[in-house]
């Protein structure tokens, strides 16, 4: 795809679903609905694996959930246990071989696994396993994890998962399916989200609570950091990897990744974003005629900013809903226009106005620059950019696709330089304290490494 109309955003790498529903012969549609709601977490590939107690079925493919599955393929996915996965589309190589869930046979039977997150010691473990004669067919962490579980499975699958957690370091929210159970596993720091819901006849696991709604389930609670929850015909049963686990949830879920209608750690994403807008208004007020959002993710914050500041909220940018994954290669003269195809300034509403433009983050700054330019070209008298996160200055190693530090504006430029680069009349970021405050939790409960470089796990030799 022509890059000029891509967003300049950090990217979540996956979403997972798990379900055990004793009163049905097929949970495939439930998983399908759940994945549909998590589509924002990954658009590269999708997959579902199901089990009816004796046999595992799976189907996966490149593309969006409705492209990968149809009535026929779903119909073949028999079974009352199921897991699913959506994967993010990186710009580089993407193979169907790397799609998840990964289903394997091991001595204990069959096991399927889907993973959201990123391990930081994969290389070392792979090397160790290779020394033991293991061969790897993919480059995904799931293959490493499933090999460990199989190896440790002599004393039962729960124990095997626990021992696997001794080995792997990094961020992981896992759903694991066997012939009789589905497991939810969250890393000891809780870096990636995973929640539990109840449904008639069983239980559901999902990366975000918004998926529960569309599956007909009700949110019970988040899976705890370090918790291993087993769902089977006996109901739910939890063991903990460690009691000392400490929450370090990824704050970017609150800023951008999660859907506004999700609830994480008992906090409404929508509320926290609106709060952040209010705090931003207090921290960085500016006189203006209208508060606008870069759609869609920044709308709650813009509403919050507007309410706090008393400056009216309005729409200043139209998002073309039909811009998808294919686009022609524009000629030189059309390149600039291609950008506007995706986000068009609402000329009549911005012309002659002083605008406060709310965006959730700036990564490379290229899109921000283009938007500010197009607003000015549409007649905006002033464009004051307000960002609902601090400058992103460090790469993430826990499941978020960040560019090299060399490309991160926040790591290399002063705020004034960035303002100058994007052409804004003023630029301000929310403070880290303000951001944390917006959630109602405190600093210790978050991984804030992308802002302050304090990685909760050693990442020196990755």
Q: Which residue's entry shows tokens 């729409």?
A: 315
419-436 burial code (b ≥16 CB/10 A, e <16): bebbbbbbbbbbebebbb
CA-based nearest residue to 170, from 89, 115, 114, 252:
115
Instruction: Consult the annotation and say whether 447 binds a ligand.
Output: yes
Specify the 3-state DSSP secondary structure of 412: helix
Q: Which is nearer to a copy of itself, 216 or 423 (CB)?
A: 216
CA 450, 452, 455 angle in degrees (round to 5)?
A: 70
CB of 189 to a copy of itself, least distance (A): 25
Instruction: Consult the annotation and say whether 359 binds a ligand.
Output: yes
Specify the 3-state DSSP secondary structure of 34: helix
- In order, the DSSP letters of 187-236 are -TT--S--EEEEETTEEEEESSHHHHHHHT-EEEEEPPTTEEEEEETTEE
CA 93, 334, 8 angle in degrees (round to 5)?
A: 45
Q: How far apart are CA 129 and CA 126, in angstroms?
A: 5
CB of 299 to a copy of itself, least distance (A): 6
Q: How far apart are CA 349 and CA 281, in angstroms?
A: 22
273 close to 301: Cβ distance less than 8 angstroms: yes
Sign of the torsion formed by the C-alpha atoms of 367, 373, 378 and 381:
positive
CB-CB neighbours of 363 under 10 Å: 21
Tokens of 230: 């087993």
Instruction: Consult the annotation and say whether 195 binds a ligand.
Output: no
Instruction: Consult the annotation and say whether 187 binds a ligand.
Output: no
Q: Which is nearer to a copy of itself, 35 or 428 (CB)?
A: 35
Q: Which is nearer to a copy of itself, 338 or 363 (CB)?
A: 338
Q: Which is nearer to a copy of itself, 26 or 368 (CB)?
A: 26
CB of 451 to a copy of itself, least distance (A): 25
Instruction: Consult the annotation and say whether 425 binds a ligand.
Output: no
Q: How far apart are CA 236 and CA 183, in angstroms?
A: 9
Q: Which is nearer to a copy of itself, 69 or 257 (CB)?
A: 69
Specify the 3-state DSSP secondary structure of 22: coil
Catalytic residues: 14
Q: Which is nearer to a copy of itself, 89 or 426 (CB)?
A: 89
Instruction: Consult the annotation and say whether 360 binds a ligand.
Output: yes
Instruction: Consult the annotation and say whether 333 binds a ligand.
Output: no
CB of 79 to a copy of itself, least distance (A): 15
CB of 127 to a copy of itself, least distance (A): 8
CB of 30 to a copy of itself, least distance (A): 8
Residues marked as binding for [4Fe-4S] cluster?
Answer: 250, 396, 447, 450
Residues marked as binding for Mg(2+)?
Answer: 297, 359-360
Residues marked as binding?
Answer: 250, 297, 359-360, 396, 447, 450
């Amino acid at each position: 795809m022509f890059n000029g109309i891509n967003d300049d955003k950090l990217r979540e790498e996956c979403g997972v679903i798990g379900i055990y529903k004793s009163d049905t012969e097929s949970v495939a549609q439930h998983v399908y609905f759940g994945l549909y709601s998590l589509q924002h977490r990954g658009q590269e590939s999708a997959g579902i694996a199901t089990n009816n107690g004796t046999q595992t079925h799976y189907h996966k493919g490149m593309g969006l959930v409705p492209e990968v599955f149809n009535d026929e393929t779903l119909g073949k996915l028999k079974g009352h246990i199921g897991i699913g996965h959506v994967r993010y589309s990186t710009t580089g190589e993407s193979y169907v071989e790397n799609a998840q869930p990964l289903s394997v046979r091991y001595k204990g039977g069959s096991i399927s696994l889907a993973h959201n997150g990123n391990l930081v010691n994969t290389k070392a473990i792979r090397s160790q396993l290779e020394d033991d004669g293991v061969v790897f067919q993919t480059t995904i962490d799931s293959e490493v994890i499933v090999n460990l579980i199989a190896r440790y499975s002599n004393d039962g699958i729960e124990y095997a998962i626990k021992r696997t957690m001794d080995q792997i370091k990094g961020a992981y929210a896992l759903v694991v399916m066997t012939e009789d159970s589905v497991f939810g596993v969250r890393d000891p720091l809780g870096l990636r989200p995973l929640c539990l819901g109840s449904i008639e006849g069983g239980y559901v696991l999902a990366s975000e609570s918004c998926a529960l709604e569309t599956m007909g389930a009700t949110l019970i609670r988040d899976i705890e950091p370090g918790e291993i929850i087993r769902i089977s015909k006996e109901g739910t049963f939890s063991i903990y990897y460690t009691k000392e686990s400490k929450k370090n949830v990824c704050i970017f879920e609150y800023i951008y990744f999660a859907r506004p209608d999700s609830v994480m750690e008992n906090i409404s994403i929508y509320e926290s974003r609106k709060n952040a807008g209010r705090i931003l208004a207090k921290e960085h007020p500016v006189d203006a005629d209208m508060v606008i959002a870069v759609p869609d993710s920044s709308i709650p914050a813009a509403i919050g900013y507007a309410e706090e500041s008393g400056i009216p909220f309005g729409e200043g940018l139209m998002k073309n809903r039909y811009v998808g994954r294919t686009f022609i290669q524009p000629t030189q003269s059309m390149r600039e226009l291609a950008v506007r195809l995706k986000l068009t300034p609402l000329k009549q509403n911005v012309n002659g106005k002083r605008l406060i433009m709310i965006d959730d983050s700036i990564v490379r700054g290229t899109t921000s620059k283009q938007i500010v330019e197009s607003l000015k070209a549409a007649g905006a008298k002033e464009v004051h950019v307000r960002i609902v996160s601090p400058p992103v200055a460090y790469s993430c190693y826990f499941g978020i696709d960040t560019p090299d530090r060399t490309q991160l504006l926040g790591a290399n430029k002063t705020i004034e330089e960035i303002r100058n680069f994007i052409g804004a009349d003023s630029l301000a970021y929310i403070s880290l304290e303000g951001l944390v405050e917006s959630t109602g939790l405190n600093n210790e409960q978050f991984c804030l490494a992308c802002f302050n470089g304090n990685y909760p796990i050693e990442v020196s030799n990755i």
